[in-house]
Structure 1
Amino acid sequence: MVFKIFEINKLALLCTILLILSFHKVSSGANQWHFYDGTSPADIIAGDVFFEIIDPPELRYSYRVRPAKDFGAPFNQSYLFEKAHLVPTNPSHSCSDIKNYEDIVGHIALSERGECSFVYKTAKAQEAGARAIIITESIDKWEESVDHLIEMVDDKMDLNVNIPAGFLLGRNGVTILRTLKHLHIPYAIINLPVNMTYTPISKMNQPPWITW
């Protein structure tokens, strides 16, 4: 009887260790989705939006964006973008007048983080005629070890911003920027938002550089 109890306890201990290791695999690492606060993946994704790149083929995946917390318009049916251009801004940080505004008018600006606030970047993109802006980490300053989605908040600059703004994981944003530059093309073609409400995480067309 004592031997059987000992074997059962060993089995329970092994199961506990495997459960801890499994949770650690999901909740740690720079390229995870950071489910470290006890909420479920569905709860986290519910507050975010997705877009898909349909061209170029090298980037044909679904990407998650965290909308600005308390400024700009929401990503909803009023802002439905089909085959829109996702255009890297010039200058890349969009903290001054955007030079390639002719490519951005009526489309979505892709700006790098740094140099000025998120609200100011959004205001400059709006001024250039963008219908939305997506902000990601700077190519020069991105660090894989600290890669995570950021909550963009209003910095109280009292700017009139009324286009949607969202933050894209640095790993995705930097890859998009580098790929467009490598292919010598000025923009990617995207659909935004894409409804992922009833799509299991395992079935999402995530980029291969995002691991679980």
Structure 2
Amino acid sequence: MQTMLINLVAILLLFSKLIFAGINNLHTYDNIRSHDIFFEILQPEDLEYTYRLKPAKDFGGTFTDDTFKQRSRNLLVFAEPREACTALENPHELSGNIALIERGECTFVRKTIMAEEAGAIGAIITDTRSNFNEDVFIEMVHDNTSRNTNIPAGYLLGRNGRMIISTLDRYGLDRAIIKLPINLTFTPPELINYPPWTME
């Protein structure tokens, strides 16, 4: 009888812990994992929403270090060439900023290294091909070479990447003003300002 009572108390404690965690940790909602990163676009106005990144699994730094936390805003700048498989041609624009890179042609590690060599402090990689994995977060893993990078990289949902890039292209812009990371730990999912096109 005493053993049953102890087991019941343990189960109740575990259950209450899970409930408490669900209230206080965003990663319990919507299949969001605790290490996912969020950012907001502040300009241009058409893109002023909250976006989710899936950080690289086993290479690079983190978007939560002081490099990002101490800033109220960052610039998200196109890599040129956009697939970033060769030395980037716009290091002056990328230096101290975050590179926006399109997926394809080479590994995620190589793209991030190219961004770092151009002076970027982070890389956001996305797949812009219409109807190709646009609703899937790709797992960015190391390419099993001896190369590595110190800056963080994150994967942006393809649908979001396509809309961001097409909007910037439409306005003739090569960058967006963003805040990264943002803390949504205590924000209920229904209050997050996700882009309307992800709700379709």
TM-score by length of 1: 0.77
Q: Which amino acid aligns with 1:101?
A: P
Counterpart Cα distance in 2 of 1:44 and 1:208: 18
Question: 1:46–1:197: 8 Å Cα contact kept in structure 2?
Answer: no
What secondary structure, in the 3-state scheme, does the structure 2 residue paired with 1:209 have? Answer: helix
Query: Partners in 2 of 1:144 and 1:200 — Cα distance?
Result: 30
Q: Which amino acid aligns with 2:52?
A: R
Match of 1:143 in 2: 131
Q: Which has the larger radius of gyration?
A: 1
CA distance in 2, matches of 1:92, 1:154: 20
Matches within 5 A, 1:85-104: 85-104=75-94
Q: Which runs of 5+ in 1 are unaligned?
A: 1-38
Q: Is the 8 A contact 2:103 2:125 kept in 1?
A: yes
Identity of aligned pairs, percent?
45
Letter in 2 for 1:85: L
Contact 2:79 2:90 in 1 (8 A): yes
Structure 1: distance between partners of 2:43 and 2:135: 25
Contact kept in structure 1, 2:112 and 2:153, CA below 8 Å: yes
Deviation at 1:167, TM superposition (A): 0.2
State the partner residue of 2:188.
200
CA distance in 2, matches of 1:126, 1:63: 23
Residue 46 of structure 1 and its aligned partner are, at CA, apart by: 1.8
Query: Is 1:178 the equivalent of 2:166?
Result: yes
2:101 alignment counterpart: 111
How many Å apart are 1:43 and its aligned residue?
5.5
Q: String of CA shifts for 1:6-53, please: whole Å, max 9, x gaps.
A: xxxxxxxxxxxxxxxxxxxxxxxxxxxxxxxxx952662422000000
1:152 to 140, 165, 170: 140
Q: Are the equivalent residues in 1 in contact too, given 2:76–2:175 (CA < 8 A)?
A: yes
CA contact under 8 A between 1:144 and 1:171: conserved in structure 2?
no
Alpha-carbon RMSD across the aligned residues, in angstroms, is: 1.7
Q: Which runs of 5+ in 2 are unaligned?
A: 1-26
Supply the AA of the counterpart residue of 1:112. Answer: E
How far did 1:77 drift? 3.3
Partner of 1:127: 117
Specify the code of the residue in structure 2 equivalent to 1:57: E
